[in-house]
């Protein structure tokens, strides 16, 4: 009998919890939205996405605060925000206070590409192409010259469309430069010459680093870093017209 009472007590307690949870959920769903709070994850305070403009666009279409939570289509709002080319990822949820929390990860440009038609766009760390902005221009490594690729925003440079273009090689080089503090501080521009090879311009000095093709890129960049630290660091920036890194076992310098 004692065991039966124990089972009955536990069952009633569990049922009470379920009813309480259901009531709480009902109350929560019928709660009115308090505020829309937007958080943007990015490197600095300024970026491609303007909080005030984004909030205004959401409010313009359909005022959210004051509506019941159950009447808000989060999936629809999420899809609208995700269509912004500067949004890498977005997550939405309601907190216990009835605020709609909008968390956005903004795209971070790795490289700015200028093709032969002088059309430009950014490539992010995942290889995605996205457009320039009229309101924000971050300092980022530029690449120009004989770049024949058509820049299609929203596409990825790893897709077959760009396989035989200069973009994959430039992307790979830009990633290696970004990951190396020394190279990042000393390389100011990438250039595709008429032969289709990669040249690099330094921050200091009026000369060119000829990288050549993308083969053995790690060795070439290691040679470059060693050369800069041993030779150019001692004030020899003005002596050379070009520094050729195409050969992995030597560096060929042309003096002015």
Instruction: Indicate whether 138 and 239 sit together in one domain.
Output: yes
Instruction: Indicate whether 132 and 210 sit together in one domain.
Output: yes
Element (H, E) at 163: none
145-162 CB burial, b ≥16 within 10 A, e <16:
bebebebeeebebeeeeb
User: What CATH number does the domain containing 173 carry?
Assistant: 3.40.50.11690
Residue 235: is its pLDDT beyond 80? no
Domain boundary, last residue among 106, 121, 149: 106
How many angstroms separate the CA atoms of 114 and 148, rounded?
10
Instruction: Indicate whether 63 and 134 sit together in one domain.
Output: no
Q: Which residues are registered as beta bridge partners of 104?
A: 40, 90
- Total number of domains in the chain: 2
| Domain contains 231 | yes
Residue 62: is its pLDDT beyond 80? no
Tokens at 156, concatenated: 């990825």
How many angstroms separate the CA atoms of 43 and 176, rounded?
19
Burial category of 189 from C-beta neighbours within 10 Å (exposed 0-12, middle 13-18, buried 19 and up) = middle
Average pLDDT over the chain, rounded to an integer: 84
Q: Which domain holds residue 55?
A: 36-106
User: What CATH number does the domain containing 82 carry?
Assistant: 3.10.20.310
**The total number of residues written for the chain in this structure:** 256
Instruction: Indicate whether 55 and 126 sit together in one domain.
Output: no
Local confidence band at 30 (pLDDT 50, 70, 90 cut-offs): low
Instruction: Indicate whether 67 and 96 sit together in one domain.
Output: yes
> Could you give the percent of the chain with pLDDT greater than 70?
84
Instruction: Indicate whether 40 and 52 sit together in one domain.
Output: yes
| Domain contains 163 | yes
Q: Model-level pTM?
A: 0.83
């Amino acid at each position: 009998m004692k065991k039966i009472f124990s089972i009955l007590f536990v069952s009633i307690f569990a049922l009470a919890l379920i009813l309480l949870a259901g009531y709480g959920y009902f109350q929560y769903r019928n709660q009115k939205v308090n505020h829309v709070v937007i958080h943007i994850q990015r490197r600095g305070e300024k970026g491609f996405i303007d909080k005030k403009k984004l909030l205004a666009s959401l409010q313009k279409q359909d005022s959210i605060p004051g509506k019941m939570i159950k009447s808000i289509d989060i999936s629809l709002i999420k899809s609208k925000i995700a269509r912004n080319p500067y949004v890498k990822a977005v997550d939405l949820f309601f907190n216990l206070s009835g605020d709609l929390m909008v968390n956005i990860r903004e795209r971070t440009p790795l490289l700015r590409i200028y093709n032969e038609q002088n059309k430009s766009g950014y490539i992010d760390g995942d290889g995605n192409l996205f457009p320039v902005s009229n309101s924000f221009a971050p300092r980022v490594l530029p690449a120009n010259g004989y770049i024949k690729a058509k820049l299609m925003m929203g596409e990825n440079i790893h897709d077959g469309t760009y396989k035989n273009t200069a973009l994959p090689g430039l992307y790979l080089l830009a990633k290696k430069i970004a990951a190396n503090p020394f190279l990042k501080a000393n390389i100011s521009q990438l250039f595709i010459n008429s032969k289709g090879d990669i040249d690099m311009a330094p921050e200091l000095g009026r000369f060119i680093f000829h990288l050549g093709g993308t083969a053995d890129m790690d060795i070439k960049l290691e040679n470059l870093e060693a050369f800069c630290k041993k030779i150019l660091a001692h004030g020899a920036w003005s002596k050379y017209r070009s520094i050729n890194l195409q050969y992995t076992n030597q560096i060929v310098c042309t003096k002015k």
